[in-house]
Amino acid sequence: MPRLWEDSLVEHKQRLRQHVMAVAVDLVGTHGLGGVSMSQLAAAAGIGRATLYKYFPDVDSVITAWGAEQIGAYTKHVNAELAELTEPSARLHRFLELQVEHVAGHAHSFGVQALGSGNLSARAAEHVETHRAQLRSVVTAILRDGITAGEFRPDADPEVHAELILGLVAALRPAVVAGTLGTGDAVRALARLLADGLHR
């Protein structure tokens, strides 16, 4: 098979895969995970069931794949944003901004609903934990750098504080999503709390 055809076939498969995931997200958002079958998904995507099964074995796998892509894109975005900053305190503040904005977004809300619904497989739960582990490692590295640089307290525990920071952001999520707490106010509240507990 000529290389041009191979490239076109790969691009076609990727576009179809993305299309299926987008349609699945819309269906699950409307009907809930348990209300969507592979037959419904195939019909909504405009493809045959046989074709759909070549890409995904079940709706669980479609949503899990979507979640993995969202996680990968967000982690890449965070790392790119933080790479522009050198001071640990500035990196931590920017991380708080990014994380609060992220949890307030539609994609995260859907992910909480679908990936955190308890209806998906253990594989989906692994993706969620992988995401948390990646974010924990980012915050842990910032805290370690801050301790080394003398910006943060030497007795701070980077791993414990990283978990606490993620937990604090998660605790504010309902108020931010509901609009009773603005993202800027949430970041400022977190920054003040961390300043009291982390800075020398």
Of 11, 33, 57, which one is at a domain's C-terminal end? 57
Same domain, 46 and 123: no
Same domain, 3 and 86: no
In the prediction, which pLDDT does 188 show? 94
Same domain, 132 and 46: no
Same domain, 107 and 42: no
In the prediction, which pLDDT does 28 show? 84
pTM of the full structure: 0.80
Q: What is the pLDDT of residues 133-191, one digit of tens each?
A: 888 999 999 999 999 999 999 999 999 999 999 999 989 988 988 889 999 999 999 99
Same domain, 53 and 63: no
The number of distinct structural domains making up the chain is 2
Three-class HEC string of the chain: CCHHHHHHHHHHHHHHHHHHHHHHHHHHHHHCHHHCCHHHHHHHHCCCHHHHHHHCCCHHHHHHHHHHHHHHHHHHHHHHHHHCCCCHHHHHHHHHHHHHHHHCCHHHHHHHHHHCCCCCCHHHHHHHHHHHHHHHHHHHHHHHHHHHHCCECCCCCHHHHHHHHHHHHHHHHHHHHHCCCCHHHHHHHHHHHHHHHHEC
Low-confidence ranges of the chain (pLDDT < 70): 1-7, 106-121, 124, 200
In the prediction, which pLDDT does 1 show? 46
Same domain, 101 and 117: yes
Q: Which CATH number covers residue 187?
A: 1.10.357.10
* Residue 49 structural domain: 1-57
Same domain, 148 and 171: yes
In the prediction, which pLDDT does 121 show? 63
Same domain, 108 and 183: yes
